[in-house]
Amino acid sequence: MSSFSSISLCPKTSSGEGVHVINLNHKYSRFNPHAQPAINIEELNSGIYALKHLALALQSAQASPETFINANNTAFPVSRATSSFKKPIKSSAPIPKTITGTTVAAIQENAALALIPEALQGLNELISTVTAIDLSRLSTIATTQILLSSYQGKTSLSDVEQRAVFSGVSVPSPESLATYVKTEQAAEIQQGQTELRAKLEASNTPEETITQALAAYETSYVETFIAENIEEHLLVYRTHIGSIIKDMNQALLSIQLQIPAMTPENVKEINGQTMLQAICSGLQDAMTQEPSLGGDSEVIQMIQVLSPLLTKQPLTDADLSTIYRATELPNKTALDRYLTASQAATYRDKITGTYQTLILNLNEARRAIDTQRKAVEEQLALFQETNATMTAWMECASKLKTAFEGQYGSSMLTVSMELDAALISMSYAYENLTSEEKTLLNNYVNQFLNIRIISGGDVVFGWISKTEVYQILADYCIHNAVTTTDQMKTYTKTQGRELAQRHFFSDIGSKVQSIADDSSFANYYIEKNGNYYPDLNKYVTQNLLSVGSISDTFVSQAQSLLQQYSAAANAHIQSLQQQIASLETQYENLDPGTASFTNQRTEAVQEWLRANSLGSAFIYMILNSQLPKQANFLEPLIKEINFNNLAANALNNLLSITNSFAITSVYYNFSSYLIESKEGADLFCGDYFDTIVGMSREREYITRDSEQCKRALALANSLLERIKNLEGVDKAQLAVMINSVTRYKYSLAITLNQLTVLDSLFVSVTVEPQKEGSSQDTYDKDTFKITSFKDWIPTLAALEGFIANGFPDITPTGGLSPIFSQVQTDQQNYTTQSQTQQLNLQNQMTNIQQEWTLVSTSMQILNQILTQLAGAIYN
């Protein structure tokens, strides 16, 4: 006898519980670190422990192999050679029948009509072939014959009549047959019990034991009598009835509903339909192998109850409960009465396998819900950003009025640029909003654009148009040799037409074109030495500060509109938050661990285990349960790693372009130098040539950074097109990347305008050296003169601040440093999370490897147990 002494009673592998789990709680992560492991370590550990004790028990002197052999849970699959049913004897051929129909009711009626002559003939044959006892006196058979005879010749049956037929053809039931035999054979049983009592009393057996033995004798006598005299004939009758039931079930399967595509909303019904069809097709397969199964009352009742659900949609909770309860049927006794062990195991395999499919469906639906929830969260984040921009945009009304009434040129320029920048950002973000959000913005943006700012003059869109005209001309004149006004007019109109194609800018684009032909167009430029340049001074003083008076109702109208918008926006935000909460609830409701069919699934698995051999059950669980669980566990993690790698790589080029933006505050500081060196109205202390070099260097920075912004903007446009065509990313991941790149786009567009306006300011700045004393030939090395428009130094400081840090009062702010920080943060997040998740994947794979080590050990021990049992049995 082989020994198991080499097997340790304590597992040598780690449970995996000590493996470090990294908490990925950032917004880019879709991996749940609290997910249940694919294989339950504790269960495997306890399973190995039990197997080892079983191995030791086999070696004990008190145990024999027979102790561990369960006829209903065999270590080795066996045929039904020991079944109480003998091979069916020959009988008359079944009456030809064809079960057809296009509805459940029609098929059942046709089947009931076909059963009437078949059952009458079958019962007559049963009575005539069973000679050991007169079955015609059995009440259930006699009643059924009378009932069915009354239905002969009918071409249609009512629902009540159909139920009576289906109920009647399954007679006699095992219980009624046993009771009848017990009554008819009472004398023989009594004689046998008398003889048994005499023997037991002779051996001084206690009365209690005698009573038990007499009861067992009666049961055994009845079972033996039925097995020897009735069962084979009854099996023939069941086969005839079962053939019709099988044909009926096949006809029902032919009209069953096609299972639609699964969604989180219909997953419970899809699961119900999947299980329903699995039960019916499983019964069909079993009845095809053994038609007599179809003649069993429990099977007939199952098909009657379940068949109406094959074409019903939607299924109610009561329907689903009925379906899942049916997975426990037919009971083990019924299956064993007709099927071999392997046939019963095949049917149970189908049910348990379908339950595994249902679990996978729930997990898939949960992943879809999780993706949808993250998409709504991203949509909420985008709308909240847009909402903040919209709020700041409308709040510009009071700041504009303050700047206008105080004639603050720098403040007026700032608020005018902010009005334009906020509308640009909303225009870019508009395409990523939902239809409801678009409608909301269209309503209130257009209302605000048409509020009148100047009494008898500009409305809001006209005011923004002025800013657009100046930015267009400044960019054109600075980077091109412009010698005629027609050049400027033509370019402005062309840009106006392009601008009108952008959402929210249709009126602004038209206004830009009309300004090119208006007399006020001359206030945007200045002519020097035959060339035309942007004139920031005239633009601010003539077009912004000297245009009449602010309308008395401008601010109040803006504030009233802002209150209305805020109420609508807050309601929408609450709606999105409720959607998220609803999705979280839906996600929890689809937890496989709390599914409505949990108890029925547990019972079905138990029945399956009892029907299967130990080795087959173990292998089946590995292939059909554990492996899918592991795949379901690892798939989201791997998908997240791939997405983060993809996103990080996509942002690498953008980050390399914007790297130089990191230190903009260091080299956009000409105003700081001037403020510290100012001595008089236009006089400054310091070296004239150093000042000229400093100003030229800052303009070089502007040129360089403008080109970098244009390159980054072109790359962002290209990147956005690539992202929209990406494969292997879900809706939430796609939304995150699209929204991020869209933010880069409008931030870059706003920053380009900031750079252009700053560059145009230097055009109007004149730096002159100062003569030393009364000498006309010697220049003062410590003093120089700068002339420009009023408030030009505060304006310069403001514009430099915008470029370094963005606008102070709106979001997005623009600015070079914020753009760099935004791109760098996103890229680092993607990279860091990819690395973190790769580490997590490595840890999980180590954990899984340990789990499979336990499985391997279990199989080795199982193999030794089976070898031990086989040797003991055959020796």
Task: Look at residue 596 and tell me if it is in a domain.
Answer: no
Task: Look at residue 539 and tell me if it is in a domain.
Answer: yes
**Residues 109 and 231 reside in one and the same domain:** yes
Instruction: Name the DSSP class of 93.
Output: P
**Residues 384 and 328 reside in one and the same domain:** no
In this structure, are residues 684 and 783 in contact, taking their beta carbons and an 8 Å threshold?
Answer: yes
Task: Look at residue 582 and tell me if it is in a domain.
Answer: no
- Residue position matching structure tokens 């267009």: 472
Instruction: Name the DSSP class of 408.
Output: -
Q: Which long-range contacts (CB under 8 A, 24 or more apart) does 481-490 make?
A: 481/531, 482/531, 482/532, 483/530, 483/531, 483/532, 484/532, 485/521, 485/525, 485/532, 487/532, 488/516, 488/521, 488/525, 488/532, 489/516, 489/517, 489/521
Q: Which long-range contacts (CB under 8 A, 24 or more apart) does 224-229 make?
A: 225/132, 225/133, 225/181, 225/185, 226/177, 226/178, 226/181, 227/84, 228/132, 229/130, 229/131, 229/132, 229/133
Cα separation, 477 vs 138, in Å, equals 112
> Across-strand partners of 785?
683, 768
**Residues 525 and 393 reside in one and the same domain:** yes
Pick from 732, 737, 724, 738: nearest CA to 636: 732
Q: Which two tokens stand for residue 743?
A: 């933010």
Task: Look at residue 264 and tell me if it is in a domain.
Answer: no
> Which pTM value belongs to this model?
0.74
**Residues 508 and 561 reside in one and the same domain:** yes
**Residues 326 and 393 reside in one and the same domain:** no
* Predicted local distance difference test score (pLDDT) of residue 633: 67
Containing structural domain, residue 546: 372-574+652-824
> Across-strand partners of 532?
527
Final residue of a structural domain among 271, 300, 332: 332
Task: Look at residue 441 and tell me if it is in a domain.
Answer: yes
Tell me the one-letter amino acid at 238.
Answer: R
**Residues 202 and 303 reside in one and the same domain:** yes
**Residues 287 and 397 reside in one and the same domain:** no
Task: Look at residue 72 and tell me if it is in a domain.
Answer: no
Cα separation, 219 vs 216, in Å, equals 5
**Residues 307 and 430 reside in one and the same domain:** no
Sheet holding 683-685, edge to edge: 683-685, 779-787, 766-771
Q: How many CB atoms lie within 10 A of CB 468?
A: 24
- Residue position matching structure tokens 């900031």: 754
Q: Mean pLDDT of residues grouped by 10 in the chain (875 residues)?
A: 36 36 42 46 46 48 41 37 40 60 94 95 94 93 94 92 94 93 93 91 90 92 94 94 95 94 94 96 94 94 95 93 91 86 84 86 91 93 95 95 92 95 95 96 97 95 97 95 95 96 96 95 93 94 92 96 97 96 94 79 63 59 63 72 76 84 85 84 86 92 94 90 79 87 93 95 90 72 86 91 89 88 84 75 76 75 76 70
* Predicted local distance difference test score (pLDDT) of residue 304: 94
Task: Look at residue 608 and tell me if it is in a domain.
Answer: no
**Residues 414 and 287 reside in one and the same domain:** no
* Predicted local distance difference test score (pLDDT) of residue 636: 72
Strands 531-534 and 779-787: unpaired
**Residues 167 and 308 reside in one and the same domain:** yes
**Residues 295 and 185 reside in one and the same domain:** yes
DSSP result, 451-471 = SB-BTTS-BHHHHHHHHHHHH
* Predicted local distance difference test score (pLDDT) of residue 607: 63
* Predicted local distance difference test score (pLDDT) of residue 773: 66
Question: What's the structural domain count of the chain?
Answer: 2
**Residues 417 and 503 reside in one and the same domain:** yes
